[in-house]
Structure 1
Amino acid sequence: MQTMMLAAQGMGYQSCPMIGFDIEAVAKLINLPDDHVMGPMVAIGKGTKEAWPKPGQLPLDEVVIENGFKTP
């Protein structure tokens, strides 16, 4: 995937890796043979706007709860 994404960038294209799609539905759509498996997909094309900036890491006290449940 990385090599394909770097090659696309070298050719003037942008790319984006994708996960979380319905693997079985895509396999059926493309008539994937039974002895093949799906991996992640990569979208490649010409960008229409600048990429969103990567967010920073959330503070640990906002995402880690120790020895109990957080109440609203």
Structure 2
Amino acid sequence: MSEGFPVGVPVRVMSDAEQAAYWKDKARKHERRWRLLMKKLRRSVDAMDDLLGELEQVEDAALGAEKE
């Protein structure tokens, strides 16, 4: 019961304080997961932006070479 609620006990039989601790613990776990997911997503978006910038440079260089 280190989290403030008994492990393995159905929520419906917990006291109000135990239920509050249980749901608070679950919410924090979900918040941590979402935070990690958003960091990964941000890194992916940044990497895609970098690749797009490189592609645009190559495309511009190719178009410039065609004009000459």
Pick the TM interval, shorter chain.
under 0.3
Q: Which protein is richer in strand relative to its size?
A: 1
TM-score by length of 2: 0.20
Higher relative contact order (CA 8 A, sep 6+): 1
TM-score (norm 1): 0.19
Q: Which protein has the larger Cα radius of gyration, Structure 1 or Structure 2?
A: 2
